[in-house]
């Protein structure tokens, strides 16, 4: 039997890299859409890609962009994937307030372009489609925990764009009988999480402070609560969603919620520092309990014009129908991220020393 082919948009991102690894391990022929950048930005998939001349098993990369329909049509035509995982997006909520139009173009219309490309090519019956939907759709709290039936109330240009992506995926499933599904994924992290998302920003800063390379960590809203899982578990869920007989929508979450402040506390604990808090809102600071040194402070520049205060997901449908479960407890996630950043920052320092940087 010939291999199953998958196409992943956003393959250079956190989830794209984990998913490519998973699908390759399952014997898929994996194609990834990568956009052009002025320098190499494929560190997360370097270990999976053997270069353009390799003939064997590795990941195959193609240039493209979610804002370019002709490119997407050609790519799908050339690769004829059995499964498409649409992960590409301007995925930063705060940045979406600065670039709302681009975010809508890539995240909302980009999803439409993918679905329409499948239809234009007459591949509705041969290609299954996964849309990277998000817990940000819930936005302003309507009910907790949030499930597949909880009403949406987006609170950012990103969430509004993803709302379109969600519904256009549902619509193509219903209108054209496509196997099209939404994974409504709650926050998932890991050592390769982008450095500007709060968990990685914290783990990197804690490692750098511990190693004497940074003085202080500045954060925005520390009261925000998130349901944080490990990305490796969540890409397994994406794959399971596309193995079902019918397309459908599923929440993937841990069912636990923690504040940003708790993440900070646990991360510092990992390097032997206990944080004590004082002050409120914009003047809140976190000090080292034993030395009194100020290590954390609030900078309102990281506040969002509208915030999502509380996310906690109900993953029961995914557990029952997909047999999916998350495997990484919150303290383990924090520990893994801090330990990984300690190693990384030490390596960076060694590199700089060996190359005359300091």
Residues classed as catalytic:
134, 136, 158
Q: Smallest distance, Å, CB 9 to ligand NDP?
A: 6
* 3-class secondary structure, 262: helix
Among 91, 146, 181, 221, binds ligand NDP (CB under 6 A): 91
Q: Which stretch binds ligand NDP (CB under 6 A): 5-13, 48-56, 311-319, 326-334?
A: 5-13
Q: Which stretch binds ligand NDP (CB under 6 A): 13-21, 147-155, 207-215, 337-345?
A: 13-21
Q: Which stretch binds ligand GDR (CB under 6 A): 35-43, 55-63, 98-106, 215-223?
A: 215-223
**Cα–Cα distance for residue pair 259/252, rounded to 1 Å:** 19
**Cα–Cα distance for residue pair 328/353, rounded to 1 Å:** 36
DSSP letter, residue 107 = I
DSSP letter, residue 108 = I
DSSP letter, residue 248 = -
Nearest residue to 62 (alpha-carbon basis) of 12, 129, 3, 24: 12
Is residue 90 a contact point for ligand NDP (CB under 6 A)? yes
Q: Are 179 and 173 in contact (CB under 8 A)?
A: yes
Q: Which residue is nearest to ligand NDP (CB)?
A: 13
12 binds, among ligand NDP, ligand GDR, none (CB under 5 to 8 A by kind): ligand NDP
* 3-class secondary structure, 286: strand
Count of residues near ligand NDP by CB under 6 A: 25
Q: Which residue is nearest to ligand GDR (CB)?
A: 224
Among 4, 35, 119, 216, binds ligand NDP (CB under 6 A): 35
Is residue 100 a contact point for ligand NDP (CB under 6 A)? no
Is residue 249 a contact point for ligand NDP (CB under 6 A)? no
Alpha-carbon dihedral of residues 287, 293, 294, 295, nearest 10 degrees? -80
Q: Which stretch binds ligand NDP (CB under 6 A): 167-175, 186-194, 280-288, 338-346?
A: 186-194
Is residue 304 a contact point for ligand GDR (CB under 6 A)? yes
Q: Any residues with CB less than 8 A from the CB of 22 and at least 6 apart, and which? A: 235, 236, 239
Is residue 136 a contact point for ligand GDR (CB under 6 A)? yes
Q: Are 20 and 47 in contact (CB under 8 A)?
A: no
Give me 301's structure tokens.
Answer: 């520049």
Give me 290's structure tokens.
Answer: 């034993």
Q: How many residues does the chain have?
A: 358
Is residue 194 a contact point for ligand NDP (CB under 6 A)? yes
Residues between 112 and 141 with contacts to ligand NDP, criterion CB under 6 A: 132, 134
**Cα–Cα distance for residue pair 248/322, rounded to 1 Å:** 11
Q: Which residues bind ligand GDR (CB under 6 A)?
A: 91, 93-94, 134-136, 187, 196-199, 201, 219-221, 224, 226, 260, 302, 304, 307
């Amino acid at each position: 039997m010939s291999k199953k082919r998958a196409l992943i948009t956003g393959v250079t991102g956190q989830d794209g890299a984990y998913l490519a690894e998973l699908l390759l391990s399952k014997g898929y022929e994996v194609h990834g859409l990568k956009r052009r950048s002025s320098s190499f930005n494929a560190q997360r998939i370097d270990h999976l890609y053997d270069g353009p001349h390799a003939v064997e098993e590795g990941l195959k990369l193609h240039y493209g962009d979610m804002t370019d329909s002709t490119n997407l049509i050609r790519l799908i035509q050339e690769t004829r994937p059995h499964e498409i995982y649409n992960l590409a997006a301007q995925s930063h909520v705060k940045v979406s307030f600065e670039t709302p139009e681009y975010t809508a173009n890539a995240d909302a219309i980009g999803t439409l372009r993918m679905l329409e490309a499948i239809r234009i090519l007459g591949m509705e019956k041969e290609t299954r489609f996964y849309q990277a939907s998000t817990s940000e759709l819930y936005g302003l709290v309507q009910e907790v925990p949030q499930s597949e039936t909880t009403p949406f109330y987006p609170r950012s240009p990103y969430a509004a764009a993803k709302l379109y992506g969600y519904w256009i995926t549902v619509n193509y499933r219903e209108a054209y009988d496509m196997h099209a599904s939404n994974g409504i994924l709650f926050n998932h992290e890991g050592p390769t999480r982008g450095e500007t998302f709060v968990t990685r920003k914290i783990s990197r800063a804690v490692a750098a402070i511990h190693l004497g390379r940074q003085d202080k960590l500045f954060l925005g809203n520390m009261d925000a609560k998130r349901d944080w899982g490990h990305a490796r578990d969540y890409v397994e869920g994406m794959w399971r969603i596309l193995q079902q007989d019918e397309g459908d929508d599923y929440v993937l979450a841990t069912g636990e919620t923690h504040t940003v402040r708790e993440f900070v506390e646990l991360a510092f604990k990992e390097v032997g520092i206990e944080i004590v808090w004082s002050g409120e809102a914009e003047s809140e600071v976190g000090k080292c309990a034993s030395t009194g040194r100020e290590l954390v402070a609030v900078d309102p520049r990281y506040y969002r014009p509208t915030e999502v205060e509380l996310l906690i997901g109900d993953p029961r449908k995914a557990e029952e129908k997909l047999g999916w479960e998350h495997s990484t407890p919150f303290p383990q996630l924090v520990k893994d991220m801090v330990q990984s950043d300690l190693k990384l920052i030490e390596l960076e320092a060694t590199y700089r020393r060996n190359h005359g940087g300091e």
